[in-house]
Amino acid sequence: MIEAVRNGFRAFVGRYGLAVAVYIAAAMFVWVVLLIVLPQIAMIDTSFRGNVPASAVGGPDDGYTLSNYAAFVLGPMGNGNLFDVTILIRTLVAAVAVTLIDIALCYPVAYMLAHSATGVTARLMVLGLIAPFWINEILRAFAFRIIFGSTGLINEVGQATGLMDRPFDFISADVALYSSLAYSYILLMIFPIYNAVEALDKNQIEAARDMGAGTLRVHWRIVLPVAKPGIASGATIVFMLTAGALAAPQILGGPSSLWFTQLVYQWFNDAGNWPRGAAYATILLVTCITFVLLMMKVFRVPIGAIGR
């Protein structure tokens, strides 16, 4: 492993020069170590601490404890914390649903970009995908609330055309929330799939069609095996970001749709219990990583394939 990294660094230096290689290495160090690893270590360390006043931090009362994790499992009364566990499961199920929606929407678009659209058509498709994201995520969430609200565009058009007898509560049904989340991360699904599918030789597709294979069989036997690493990469990003979303659930979530990140936020900000919030954040992180690794194992996608 170390030898492979060393050889890769030498090859990079030989191609781009020492200055560029050092800059990239320093940037990666800052990004991975200072902005990801160290904050995560600090959060995990905090999660094992007791909730003591600021003046007692580092003192004899500031010791390590498992009480924050025990509270998630056992609850305040010690007889089980079904409420928080249910919210965690519901968040993971919602994240899976949003990921599947994005896969279904983005796979055909990515394939068209890679093998069908050319010239002006391809540029217009890319521009149409990117331009809406010039708008802030919060503003987009409120726009979805306006569109799906009881007096919003969909209900007004539906009633005006006679398709709906009365307004439908898209907010309580989480339709607005799922739509907003799927839309927010659509680019993060399209481009990994596009990057994978673009490498596919068109002659393989033409040969399969010449041999009588239908469209579905061509995609199942030829395109999907090549696109699988891109789908896995995009699905991982979308799943993790959806499970960790906060703004959209706050704005678009129904009264009975509490997101696990909202619990984390409440422990940090409303309750002022940072160790408990850090423990809940760590539980969400570990659960999501475990789920992603399990799914990669089930679908036989190695981690190395994602980085290609």
| Residue 306 banded pLDDT, cuts 50, 70, 90 | low
The domain limits of the chain are 77-306
pTM above 0.75, yes or no: yes
Q: What angle do CA 232, 113, 229 make, to 5 degrees?
A: 15
Within 8 A by CB and 6+ apart from 114, the residues are: 194, 197, 198, 200
Cβ-in-10-Å burial (0-12, 13-18, 19+) of 6 comes to: exposed
| Residue 308 banded pLDDT, cuts 50, 70, 90 | low
Encode 161-188: b = buried (16+ Cβ within 10 Å), e = exposed.
Answer: eeeeeeebebbeebbbbbbbbbbbbbbb
pLDDT of 1 > 60? The answer is: no
Q: Which CATH architecture has domain 77-306?
A: Orthogonal Bundle (1.10)
Q: What is the rounded distance in angstroms from the CA atom of residue 184 to the CA atom of residue 137? A: 7
R_g of the chain computed on alpha carbons: 24
Helices 175-184/82-115 angle, 10° precision = 50
The DSSP H or E segment spanning 236 is helix 224-243
Residue 129 confidence (pLDDT): 85
- As a whole number, mean pLDDT of residues 53-73 equals 82
Q: How many residues does the chain have?
A: 308
- As a whole number, mean pLDDT of residues 211-235 equals 87
The DSSP H or E segment spanning 9 is helix 2-16
Looking up tokens 């659930």 gives 249
pLDDT in tens, 132-174: 888 888 899 999 999 998 888 899 999 998 888 888 889 888 8
The DSSP H or E segment spanning 46 is helix 38-47
